[in-house]
Amino acid sequence: MTWQARINTALEERRAADALRVRRVVENGAGRFLTREGQRFCNFSSNDYLGLSQHPQVVRAWQQGAERFGVGSGGSGHVSGYTTAHQALEEALADWLGYPRALLFISGFAANQAVIAALMNKNDRIVADRLSHASLLEAASLSPAQLRRFAHNDAGQLAALLDKPCDGQQLAITEGVFSMDGDSAPLAALHEAAKRQNAWLLVDDAHGIGVMGDEGRGSAHQQNVKPELLIVTFGKGFGVSGAAVLCSESVADYLLQFARHLIYSTSMPPAQAVALSASMAIVRSAEGDERRQLLADHIRQFRRGLRSLPFHSPDSQSAIQPVIVGDNSRALALAHRLRERGIWVTAIRPPTVPSGTARLRLTLTAAHRAQDVDALLEALRVASQ
Ligand SMILES: *Cc1c(COP(=O)(O)O)cnc(C)c1O
């Protein structure tokens, strides 16, 4: 088979399965409305849960940061790219989340790759929740460690897998709030199971940070659990982009030696770190509480309305509300019908979710109004008939 034939075949297979992914150009894709080709849609597909991507204070902080520092960091943090703006943000994050140290990464994907690659050796074992994000499972399967998966949120099965003989170190991996189902992990039970075997727990709280718990400190804080490694990302609740790893002093020192994404990659622009500090200040403030309350109201309103509609939806208390339809073509058709009514949603298909569970992944945000949620419910009702 030639290169060209291989590529054509792969694309053809995706097309035939209604699984071809396409990007649609939008004029603006975060916040309450998505605009595209001059048309305005109510946006139920962004992860901008608190509506901070458009917040004037965050925008201004980025502008002021750019005026002070320029637009680029000039190099990795090991060269000249670790500025006072990065340091201030790391210290504030560590303090807020109750860890000795925080290290910034340019994205959650990069953070997960870096941490798992830097920590895992040949005789080690990773035991990950089966529904963990692609960035975690990919890093785990690329690492020299053995990868085992436990049934979703099943602490008993995690314990059983960790009990099997292992010559090296073991790392248990889960998420705070799961990205496709919106449910939460039982972190205390998972951490207990890990501790019994001297395993460490890594929690990726991409969808919990800023949104869950007191001051938006996230899922782990809400459940009173302190995983050895906590990953938080800033492209969702924080409304910006980037990520941080929260850990002990020695793990941070170790990652600065061995995490290649920190050593061989340009650090985030300092202006972005300034914007993130502004975003974090809002997340922690009374305004943050108000935004979380608005989001909670929208979740309750949506769940209540959904009960009378003929859709299967797992029990999610988070901003992520999946509506499971089963096959790919039905999910695409439903998304299309909603768009015709001015509602922007994305159909999520395998391999992002297990086969046969194609779904609409609806996301509610603090930027929505009650009438937006009503419009969404009404559009779902019409589309279901
Ligand atoms: C979105 C997401 C990531 C990736 O974070 P980015 O900053 O967007 O690269 C990692 N883990 C989980 C669970 C996510 O949902």
pTM for the predicted model, two decimal places:
0.96
Other beta carbons within 10 Å of 310: 8
Using CA atoms, how far residue 208 sits from 47, 70, 233, in Å, is 11, 31, 9
Q: What is the DSSP string of 44-84?
A: -S---TTSGGG-HHHHHHHHHHHHHH-S---S-TTTT---H
Pick from 254, 247, 228: nearest CA to 118: 254
Q: What percent of the chain has pLDDT over 70?
A: 100
Distance from Cα 131 to the centre of ligand 1, integer Å: 13
Q: Are strands 358-363 and 346-348 parallel, antiparallel or unpaired?
A: antiparallel
| pLDDT > 90? residue 19 | no
Structure confidence at residue 315 (pLDDT): 87
Nearest atom (ligand 1) to Cα of 243: 7
Tokens of 195: 């501790």
Q: Is 307 annotated as a binding residue?
A: no
Average pLDDT of the chain is 96
Contact 377, 305 (CB under 8 A): yes
Contact 141, 147 (CB under 8 A): yes
What pLDDT digit, counting tens, does each position of 237-272 carry? 999 999 999 999 999 999 999 999 999 999 999 999
Farthest CA pair distance, the chain: 61
Angle at 184 between CA 178 and CA 187, to 5 degrees: 115
Which residues surround ligand 1 with Cβ inside 6 Å? 107-109, 112, 133, 135, 175, 179, 204, 206-207, 233, 235, 243
Q: Which amino acid is at 194?
A: A
Q: At what angle do helices 155-163 and 187-196 cross, to 10 degrees?
A: 10
Helix (H) and strand (E) counts in the chain: 14, 13
Mean pLDDT lowest for which of 64-78, 99-113, 117-131, 304-318?
304-318
Q: Which residue carries 């890093």 as its tokens? A: 139
Residue 105: strand, helix, or coil: strand
Distance from Cα 244 to the centre of ligand 1, integer Å: 11
What pLDDT digit, counting tens, does each position of 24-34 carry? 899 988 989 99
Q: What is the mean pLDDT of residues 143-172?
A: 98
Residue positions annotated with a catalytic role:
47, 133, 175, 179, 204, 207, 236
Q: What is the mean pLDDT of residues 162-177?
A: 98
Q: How far apart are CA 69 and CA 224, in angstroms?
A: 38
Contact 268, 242 (CB under 8 A): yes
Pick from 266, 255, 220: nearest CA to 77: 266
Q: How far apart are CA 265 and CA 254, in angstroms?
A: 17
Q: What is the DSSP string of 316-359?
A: --SSEEEEEEESHHHHHHHHHHHHHTTEE-EEE-TTSS-TT-EE
Q: How far apart are CA 252 and CA 254, in angstroms?
A: 5
pLDDT band at 384 (very low <50, low <70, confident <90, very high): confident
Residue 274: strand, helix, or coil: helix
Among 106, 179, 219, 261, residue to substitute to test ligand 1 (most atoms within 8 Å of Cβ): 179
Q: How far apart are CA 49 and CA 365, in angstroms?
A: 4
Q: What percent of the chain has pLDDT over 90?
A: 91
Q: How far apart are CA 346 and CA 16, in angstroms?
A: 19
What pLDDT digit, counting tens, does each position of 298-342 carry? 999 999 999 999 888 888 999 999 999 988 999 999 999 999 999
What pLDDT digit, counting tens, does each position of 334-380 carry? 999 999 999 999 899 888 888 889 999 999 999 999 999 999 999 99
Q: What is the mean pLDDT of residues 120-137?
A: 97
